[in-house]
Amino acid sequence: MEISNSITGYQINLERIKNSLLESLRAGQILQARAITSSRNQQVQLRIGNLEILAQTQARISAGESLTLQVIKASDPLQLRVLLESSARDIQARAMRAALPQQTSVAHLLNRLTALMPKPPGNQANPPTQLLTQAVTSQHVAAAQGEVAAKPPAAALTAGSSPHSPTPAGTADSRLQSVINNLLQPQDATKLWQTIQRVLSIQLVANEPPSAERIQLALQSSGLFLEAALASGIAPPVDLKRSMLELLLQLRPLLAAAQAGQQPQSLPAAEGGLNQTGFLAELVSNAEGSLARILFNQLSSLPGDNANQQLWQFEIPYRQNEKCDSFRVQIEQQTKQNKQGKAETVWSVNLDFALETTGPIHARLLLIGEEISSRFTAESDETARRLEQALPQLERAFTRAGLKVGTLSATVGSVDYEPRPRFALLDEKA
């Protein structure tokens, strides 16, 4: 019999003994064993049930150690794997390692969806954040009345922006819209367009100042709290993670239908050079990457070992003209002892973004008691100069808010724009 350690790869070789317990084992079965002796000279005495077996192994096993074993092969030679108990931090790190290479910015998906949406005539459509504000406000009203939202409200497609509305002929987007409408039943196509608009509604726009209320709404709808809200019996009407899951559930069958060649003969995939299957595959990939980013942010925001520290990490999609970018936000709360030995709360906010007009920027705000400090780092010399010129205006704004101003600075330096975990994901001592 062989027992392997799933972490180290060590093998434990046991002689095959005729025993009803061993002969009844099946792949996937879990066993409990105890080491009677410590491993020495690559040998260890194990007890499995009432059976004592001498095993050979390179693994370090201590006398009295309890082992959880899983059968991975029931035939000769019998193979078992040692299942090590994982701490919550190990499970968290493993999930983050899985999400890290898959994640992409939500802004990539929103840019593709914006190009896909039918264009309403004039300015009849509600501003995206207005839809978000209305939905979240209705959630608060329902919660106050003891109601539970069973379904998210369908973001209304305004007059002239129906999923089957005519769009300018000859554009790739309009042809793809026609393909989608022909691949899906009318009610399914309508549901898809409504889901897309719900996803697009969760973004700030340049002509609407990012007020504290809008930032709060963006945090509430970022996907961080979806599972917590569902566990409390309240389905959030607008939530980025929920909408992303709904979008994937609708896009994947659509992609499968396109790959199966179900598009109408009148709209061949090669028409005008439009690769319909490729476009849908890219949408699915972007949606999966966005979902991985949300999951990574959720895992980064889980409570850590330090009860005096909590971090929230999320993204705020921001649309300026025809392009969507993302602001990555980290809010951290810490309780520390000051010089007088008294506990005080320290708040910090890290903001990372990269706009075409500014280049990458990192901003950090630190609030200790009533004193606030701010530090800006920009990769562009011109951007750093403009930020430095705006510092007096920022100081006056802090003063008007009743805060004591500490240190304000703007410098040139490198900016790490990619999401980063707050603890090591790999055990360097393993």
Q: What is the mean pLDDT of the chain?
A: 77
The domain total for the chain is 3
Residue 289: closest CA among 236, 248, 326 = 248
**pLDDT at 251 (0 to 100):** 92
Assigned domain for 269 exists = yes
Q: Phi, psi at residue 334, to the nearest 5°?
A: -130, 145
Domain range spanning residue 119? Answer: 93-300
Task: Please check whether residue 417 lies inside any domain of the structure.
Answer: no
Centre a 10 Å sphere on the Cβ of residue 28 and count the other Cβ atoms it contains. 9
Q: Are residues 48 and 110 in the same domain?
A: no
User: Which residues of 206-342 form beta strands (DSSP E)?
Assistant: 309-320, 323-337
Which pLDDT tens digit goes with each residue over 382-428? 999 999 999 999 999 999 999 999 999 999 998 876 666 555 555 54
Give the separation between CA 90 and CA 294, rounded to whole angstroms.
Answer: 19
Task: Give the CA-trace dihedral at 133, 135, 138, 139, to 10 degrees.
Answer: -110
What's the whole-model pTM score?
A: 0.67
| Mean predicted confidence (pLDDT) in 40-53 | 83
Q: What is the pLDDT of residues 190-200, one digit of tens each?
A: 888 889 989 99
Average confidence (pLDDT) over 336-356: 88
Based on the fold, state whether residues 54 and 108 are members of the same structural domain.
Answer: no
Give me the half-sphere count of Cα atoms (radius 13 Å) on the Cβ side of residue 61.
35
Which of these, 222, 251, 206, lies nearest to 132 by C-alpha position? 222
User: Domain for residue 196, yes or no?
Assistant: yes
Whether residue 329 is found in the same domain as residue 403: yes
pLDDT at residue 188, as a whole number:
86
Residue 277 pLDDT > 70: yes
Closest CA to 387 of 349, 357, 417: 357
Do 178 and 52 share a structural domain?
no
d(CA 348, CA 147): 35
> What is the distance between the alpha carbons of residues 61 and 69, in angstroms, rounded to a whole number?
13
Helix (H) or strand (E) holding 365: strand 359-368
**Site of tokens 């390692």:** 97
Q: What CATH number is associated with residue 385?
A: 3.30.750
Decide if 427 is inside a domain: no
Q: Return the CATH number at 72.
A: 2.40.50
More confident residue, 22 or 340: 340
The structure tokens 């659509």 sit at: 254
Interatomic CA distance for residues 350 and 10, integer angstroms: 44
Proportion of the chain above pLDDT 70, given as a percent: 72
For residues 150 and 179, state if they share a domain: yes
Distance between CA atoms of 27 and 62, rounded to whole angstroms? 26
Q: Which of 61, 85, 109 is the last residue of a domain?
A: 85
Residue 425 lies in a domain: no
Q: Which residue has the higher pLDDT, 328 or 54?
A: 328
What's the pLDDT score for residue 405? Answer: 96
pLDDT single digits (tens) 255-273? 888 888 754 444 444 444 4
188 in any annotated domain: yes
Instruction: Report the alpha-carbon angle 231-234-236, nearest 5.
Output: 110
State mean pLDDT over 162-166: 38
Helix (H, G, I), strand (E, B) or coil at 72: strand
Range from 31-45, 83-97, 399-413 carrying the lowest mean pLDDT: 83-97
Residue 225 is classified by DSSP as: T
Task: Please tell me the least confidently modeled range out of 120-134, 179-193, 373-387.
Answer: 120-134
